[in-house]
Copies of this chain bind each other. A is one copy, B any other.
Amino acid sequence: MRGPGGGANLLVLRSHNTALVLDLLRTAGPEGISRLELAERTGLTPQAVSKITARLREEGLAAEAGRRASTGGKPRTVLRLVPEAGHAVGVHLDRDELRAVLADLDGTVVARRHGPLDLGAGAEAVLTRVASVVEELEAELPAGGSLLGAGVALPGPLDHRRGVLHRVTGFPEWDGFPLRDALSARLGGVPVVVDKDTNAVALGLAVAGEGGSFAYLHLGTGLGAGLVIGGSVHRGPRTGAGEFGHQVVQLDGPPCGCGDRGCVEALCLAAVARGETAEAARVLGTGAANLVGLLDIDRVLVGGRTVEGAPEVFVSGVRGVLEARARRTGEECGVVRLVSGEERVAEGAAQLVLAPVFGQDG
């Protein structure tokens, strides 16, 4: 909670606490949560919570949802988030495919689009395509519903803060393209947020309740990572963090496409190509263990097309390396878990817009 320059005034205070309450309402789901419980969880007084929830109910963001059983007195009134109070579009641009979802405040997908895409067709063509998909989904908004914005997730390294792409691998014409502003202009001023696909997935996981600090490692045609530290996505000063794939784990090893030698990505994919999946998993695990040691994160999650090919091998391989390390250091081991889902990136992209409402990723 901080305004421009770090100073906080009463408006900042209010939006901070409001976002906090909204987040607890969202986390509680359809069963809802009582005012007193909100007070306990936030550390605010019950009366403050009452005022905040009264305002939220007036604005249509929250509503009553029945009552709890009595514990000897007046039963608690249960409140819930009204998910239809706001929507966001999430777009996943891959090298050969486009997926887009319309999600409500709760993150629930209420409409979807998908089809082939040629990133090489040039910025203008892709931009037109994306804009029309967003408008199609906007047309499916429930009556009276409003679109908070559109989130776009795509591979290459990019500047999240300015919404500018650099070096989308294999497509030099995208270099320096101001995707955020261009798309926002096409959409008539609708707010647009742009981020790496791995960051979108990591954000989606964080919002879905994957607490604390964790890393999402994505092994597909390349190897990337999304880092969540203390509940928020870590992007770094130049928003280029998460360059996991070109971490060197074999000094003077085999050359990598990036120009260096012995990168995790090169070693891992080469092992996969040789059919040595277990070795690939061990290499991946070594990189993960380095990450865990440096940042002391709680968990590592692995995913991506290549992992899907042999999930058990990758999970147990990475887990093996991490557990061996944990036995030496005495620290709790970062647990490894497999995840999947076709629309995961698009849903995470929608969260780029939704999460700030709940005080996350703002």
A residues engaging B (CB < 8 A)?
A: 1-10, 13, 16-17, 20, 40-44, 48, 157, 166-167, 212-213, 225, 227, 229-230, 234-244, 246-251, 253, 258-260, 267, 283, 286, 289-291, 293-298, 324-325, 328-332
Asked whether, in the complex, the Cβ of A294 is within 8 Å of the Cβ of B5, the reply is: no
In the bound complex, how far is the Cα of B13 from the Cα of A44, in angstroms? 13
Asked whether, in the complex, the Cβ of A8 is within 8 Å of the Cβ of B1, the reply is: yes
In the bound complex, how far is the Cα of B297 from the Cα of A13, in angstroms? 30
**6 tightest Cβ-Cβ pairs between the two chains A and B:** A236-B296, A5-B43, A7-B42, A243-B293, A241-B296, A4-B43
A256 shortest CB reach to chain B, Å: 10
In the bound complex, how far is the Cα of B2 from the Cα of A41, in angstroms? 13
In the bound complex, how far is the Cα of B190 from the Cα of A125, in angstroms? 67
Q: Is the interface of A mostly helix, strand, loop or mixed?
A: loop
Asked whether, in the complex, the Cβ of B296 is within 8 Å of the Cβ of A235, the reply is: yes
Asked whether, in the complex, the Cβ of B1 is within 8 Å of the Cβ of A296, the reply is: no
CB<8 Å pairs between A and B, sample of 12: A1-B2, A8-B17, A9-B48, A157-B329, A166-B330, A167-B330, A238-B331, A242-B294, A244-B293, A290-B290, A294-B294, A295-B295
Q: Which one of B5, B8, B250 contacts A16 once the chains associate, using CB atoms below 8 Å?
A: B8
In the bound complex, how far is the Cα of B236 from the Cα of A115, in angstroms? 41
Asked whether, in the complex, the Cβ of A248 is within 8 Å of the Cβ of B289, the reply is: yes
**Could you say which residues of chain B place their CB within 8 Å of the CB of A248?**
249, 286, 289-290
A360 shortest CB reach to chain B, Å: 11
In the bound complex, how far is the Cα of B56 from the Cα of A286, in angstroms? 52
Please give me the residue from chain B that is nearest to A283 by CB atom. Answer: B251
Query: Provided the pairs A167-B330, A296-B236 are in contact, do residues A290 and B1 lie with their beta carbons within 8 angstroms?
Result: no
Q: Which one of B20, B237, B246, B296 contacts A7 once the chains associate, using CB atoms below 8 Å?
A: B20
Please give me the residue from chain B that is nearest to A45 by CB atom. Answer: B9
Asked whether, in the complex, the Cβ of B243 is within 8 Å of the Cβ of A294, the reply is: yes
In the bound complex, how far is the Cα of B331 from the Cα of A247, in angstroms? 15
Q: Which one of B166, B240, B289, B325 contacts A296 once the chains associate, using CB atoms below 8 Å?
A: B240
**Could you say which residues of chain B place their CB within 8 Å of the CB of A246?**
293, 329
**Could you say which residues of chain B place their CB within 8 Å of the CB of A259?**
328
A2 shortest CB reach to chain B, Å: 6
In the bound complex, how far is the Cα of B16 from the Cα of A37, in angstroms? 26
In the bound complex, how far is the Cα of B161 from the Cα of A29, in angstroms? 32
A50 shortest CB reach to chain B, Å: 14
Please give me the residue from chain B that is nearest to A292 by CB atom. Answer: B243
In the bound complex, how far is the Cα of B202 from the Cα of A318, in angstroms? 31
**Could you say which residues of chain B place their CB within 8 Å of the CB of A17?**
7-8
**Could you say which residues of chain B place their CB within 8 Å of the CB of A5?**
40-44
Please give me the residue from chain B that is nearest to A6 by CB atom. Answer: B20
A265 shortest CB reach to chain B, Å: 11
Asked whether, in the complex, the Cβ of B240 is within 8 Å of the Cβ of A234, the reply is: no
**Could you say which residues of chain B place their CB within 8 Å of the CB of A42?**
5-7
Q: Which one of B8, B244, B296 contacts A239 once the chains associate, using CB atoms below 8 Å?
A: B296
Q: Which one of B3, B260, B296, B328 contacts A260 once the chains associate, using CB atoms below 8 Å?
A: B328
**Could you say which residues of chain B place their CB within 8 Å of the CB of A267?**
251
